[in-house]
Structure 1
Amino acid sequence: MIHQYKSNGYAIVLDVNSGSVHVVDDIVYDCIALLDQGCSKGEVTEKLSASYSKEDLKTALEEIQELTDQGMLFTEDIYENAIEHFKERPTVVKALCLHIAHDCNLACKYCFAEEGEYHGRRALMSYEVGKKALDFLIANSGSRRNLEVDFFGGEPLMNWQVVKDLVAYGREQEKIYNKNFRFTLTTNGVLVNDEVMEFCNKEMGNVVMSIDGRKEVHDHMRPFRKGAGSYDLVVPKFQKWAESRNQDKYYARGTFTHYNLDFSKDVLNLADLGFKQISVEPVVAPSDADYALQPEDLPKLFEEYDNLAKEMIKRNKEGNGFNFFHFMLDLTGGPCVYKRLSGCGSGTEYLAVTPWGDLYPCHQFVGNEDFLLGNVDEGITKPAICKDFKNCNVYAKEACKKCFARFYCSGGCAANSYNFKGKIDDVYEVGCELERKRVECAIMIKAAMAEEEV
């Protein structure tokens, strides 16, 4: 499969199956397009003879043939035939999302967790339940040494002592079982203080700081329960925290909605505040929600991604660059084949744990009893659900089979598929369109950076 596009003056060709990216001139670009349609070399020469000389066409076709012989163009899909073997692979649990608090001190309008309640009752995870969760992870991790635990909510700092106690317990257990815990924390910043920063800088491999960008955007969607905005309180804390982490191993993470389709301004606002690790992501919401993204919003969003990519190139050349999560693409190796085919591992390698110890495929399924897998006392009692998630891959979804971005998004989010299509092995089209655009922008940025290094 070949994907071609032009962006910011670059003519780009992606060989999907090999992952090879080529920045080419117009004659090679046009030749590849006709060859991909099934034209012979003679037909290509005939069709393009009015635009290019026969000698130039001969040279271009020879270059294309050389790349094809090297396995960098028009390559076969080597993964589809192996998919049955892939589905039978042994899996182990390697990551838990601990819902340390089903409660929150903000009332974010787009929150899928319903202000921390997750379709149920407010609760804080006890130390005892948290210990059982870590024990479950160790017991079900097989020979895998590196394990991940994310303290999530609601707002996890509302249960801060238990967070600290569980980190200490994990550090004890990793010595006993030869494991290595990587802890992370996601917070809205309201309760962040110097003690929280110091502890997390020592113990947390990553922290996610929730902030939506411009003050008016953030305060509109992330107010306190009585309506006051939270921007002025959290921004100085997050700025100090990012600096204390040497501008690394964190994300200033926002959400854009129908109310701020010009979201590139929010990304750049965060960059102007000094943040170097930024992720501003599209809201996923029922189509009848007033803040939901609509299909008719896509042209504007595409324009915003293009504008952001160009500005990032400019700032990088000026020595004031920053990272944007959705443009961070590894073209030299990328994830292992399993991840390329199946994505985040929800329901198999990655599970969510409620404050009372129930297990779900991921945080977005929490509260949906159809996806209750078991609990930390008994383990997984409904393995059939795990098997359904294990069978989710880019070849199980018709839309993915013909999508050039399938090995970058790995089939997309199962929860989004379920929420919009009623099943986990389909796709959320708006999300797919945005992912394809982000991949194109990310590759273009790589092309521009490579050109700068020459």
Structure 2
Amino acid sequence: MTQTLAATFHLTHQCNLRCTYCYTGTKVHRPMSREVALKSLHFVLDEARKAQVKYLDITFFGGEPLIEAELLFWLTDSFKRALPAEMTLSFRLSTNGTLLTEAMMQALAQRDIYVSLSVDGPPRLQDAQRPNAAGKGSSVAIEKAIPILLRANPCASVTTVLTPYSAGHAAESIDWLYQKGFRYFNLTLDYSADWTMEDMRYLEKSYHQLARWYEEKMQQNQRFYLSCFDERIRSHTQGPPGQDERCNLGQRQFSIAPDGALYPCIQFVTTETLPEFMIGHVLHGGFDENCRQHLHSCSEKPKDTCSGCALQGRCASWCSCINFASTGTVTQASPVVCYHERTLMPLVDAMANRLWRKRNQMFLHKHYNPLYPMIDYLEHLV
């Protein structure tokens, strides 16, 4: 029995930023209607009942979802009223932060919506990669939003995207965000970009700097989570992610586009319809099981280029969204991922081995104490 069902509501295609790496297409005012929202709500609850899940995880995405704040709050309130007693419900929101006022944050907090902020680092990087619709920087608005968010939730996470432009500044960006008060970092690549060998060399150098930063923080007994390092350490200490932990394309999670079309993941929701990746429609019978199962089986096929690789299972080649962003298909492993993992994994393993040999107490606590995530969360709230 599946424990969790995760559904992402894409409330609008509209956004007030024009990020250089955005994959969703033209920013148009095409929000999800109340009719589609209500149908989607009932569809999600029906799927959760059929799967007999204990946990229902709802994420709000865009565009910029706070542009449709009224719809967002109506949906959260409606979900709470309709939720079966045997299920536990959680809400998440991914936002660019430009609309995150004190009043907005209070309304989100009252509804127990966990907010994740997208920020690419200090002002010059944020402004270059995440300008507004007028082409101006967004860093001033973001620096106002950060303390509002962290006062409400010290455990809020931040997502930072590395592009060829910012590849050499990973350590700088994470340290800047750390100084601002963040402790939970999701650091990822723009896998759709045209990465050159020179870009990758800059990235590798920056990862070495980030490894030194990580070690220093461990030696100072600092608590934090850095996805690109901690998940790779975890893949060694606990083994590769199992079927229940991986995305499992379109099976335990799916996305609902503003018009009600169903897709297996957020990466496939754009202003242009992608019929080859559509797995149904909430207004037209829900899931198309033939399409859904075909796409899933294609994504699960072994990748020829991964055969015999020592990193197989530990790297991100299983992620269909990443493969799609890089290759346009779900059947081929991303060459960007391949080079990236062969660069990053040995570096992270070497750093982790140094901390292990030193018997660094924070490192051991973080990666070998099963209670650490709960302890870390509670201590950050205090």
Distance 2:185 2:23 in 1: 21
- Aligned 8 A contact 1:348 1:389 in 2: no
| Secondary structure of 1:262 counterpart | helix
Flag structure 2 segments of 5+ consecutive residues without an equivalent: 365-382
1:168 matches 2:77: yes
1:323 matches 2:225: yes
Flag structure 1 segments of 5+ consecutive residues without an equivalent: 1-89, 288-292
Q: Return the letter of the residue paired with 1:168.
A: D
**What is the aligned counterpart of 1:338 among 240, 243, 247?**
243
**What is the aligned counterpart of 2:196 among 294, 297, 304?**
294
Return the TM-score normalized by structure 2.
Answer: 0.83
1:14-53 → structure 2 map (5 Å cutoff):
none
| Secondary structure of 1:150 counterpart | strand
**What is the aligned counterpart of 1:348 among 243, 248, 251?**
251
Q: Which residue of 2 aligns with 1:279?
A: 186
Kindly tell me: are residues 202 and 404 of structure 1, through their superposed partners in 2, closer, same or farther at Cα, counting changes over 3 Å? farther
1:223 matches 2:131: yes
| Secondary structure of 1:337 counterpart | coil
Q: Which residue of 1 aligns with 2:24?
A: 113
Distance 2:147 2:311 in 1: 34
1:184 matches 2:92: yes
Post-superposition Cα deviations, 1:227-253, rounded to whole Å, max 9, x if no partner, equal 21110111231133123212x1x2211
Range that drifts further, 188-197 or 390-399? 390-399
How big is the shift at 1:217? Answer: 0.8
**What is the aligned counterpart of 1:147 among 33, 56, 59?**
56
Kindly tell me: are residues 437 and 253 of structure 1, through their superposed partners in 2, closer, same or farther at Cα, counting changes over 3 Å? same
How big is the shift at 1:203? Answer: 3.3
Post-superposition Cα deviations, 1:30-73, rounded to whole Å, max 9, x if no partner, equal xxxxxxxxxxxxxxxxxxxxxxxxxxxxxxxxxxxxxxxxxxxx
1:376-391 → structure 2 map (5 Å cutoff):
376-391=282-297
| Secondary structure of 1:192 counterpart | coil
1:124 matches 2:31: yes
- Aligned 8 A contact 2:119 2:158 in 1: yes
Distance 2:303 2:2 in 1: 21
Distance 1:321 1:449 in 2: 15
Kindly tell me: are residues 395 and 345 of structure 1, through their superposed partners in 2, closer, same or farther at Cα, counting changes over 3 Å? closer
Query: Greater relative contact order: 1 or 2 (C-alpha under 8 angstroms, separation 6 or more)?
Result: 2
Kindly tell me: are residues 354 and 279 of structure 1, through their superposed partners in 2, closer, same or farther at Cα, counting changes over 3 Å? same
- Aligned 8 A contact 1:393 1:411 in 2: no
- Aligned 8 A contact 2:249 2:299 in 1: no
Q: Which residue of 1 aligns with 2:9?
A: 98
Q: Which residue of 1 aligns with 2:152?
A: 244
How big is the shift at 1:392? Answer: 4.7
- Aligned 8 A contact 2:18 2:131 in 1: yes
Q: Which residue of 2 aligns with 1:363?
A: 266
**What is the aligned counterpart of 2:68 among 159, 177, 192?**
159
Distance 1:259 1:108 in 2: 13
Q: Which residue of 2 aligns with 1:312?
A: 214
Distance 2:79 2:295 in 1: 28
Post-superposition Cα deviations, 1:73-120, rounded to whole Å, max 9, x if no partner, equal xxxxxxxxxxxxxxxxx8798111110111011111211112545xxx
- Aligned 8 A contact 2:4 2:55 in 1: no
| Secondary structure of 2:314 counterpart | helix
**What is the aligned counterpart of 1:401 among 287, 292, 307?**
307
- Aligned 8 A contact 2:157 2:186 in 1: yes
Identity among equivalent positions (%) equals 24
| Secondary structure of 2:161 counterpart | strand
How big is the shift at 1:275? Answer: 1.5
Kindly tell me: are residues 404 and 195 of structure 1, through their superposed partners in 2, closer, same or farther at Cα, counting changes over 3 Å? farther
| Secondary structure of 2:57 counterpart | strand
Q: Which residue of 1 aligns with 2:375?
A: none
Kindly tell me: are residues 228 and 421 of structure 1, through their superposed partners in 2, closer, same or farther at Cα, counting changes over 3 Å? closer
- Aligned 8 A contact 2:43 2:286 in 1: no
| Secondary structure of 2:145 counterpart | helix
- Aligned 8 A contact 2:130 2:138 in 1: yes
Over alpha carbons, which structure has the higher Rg? 1
Return the TM-score normalized by structure 1.
Answer: 0.71
Post-superposition Cα deviations, 1:109-132, rounded to whole Å, max 9, x if no partner, equal 211112545xxxx31112332222
- Aligned 8 A contact 1:99 1:153 in 2: yes
- Aligned 8 A contact 2:105 2:148 in 1: no
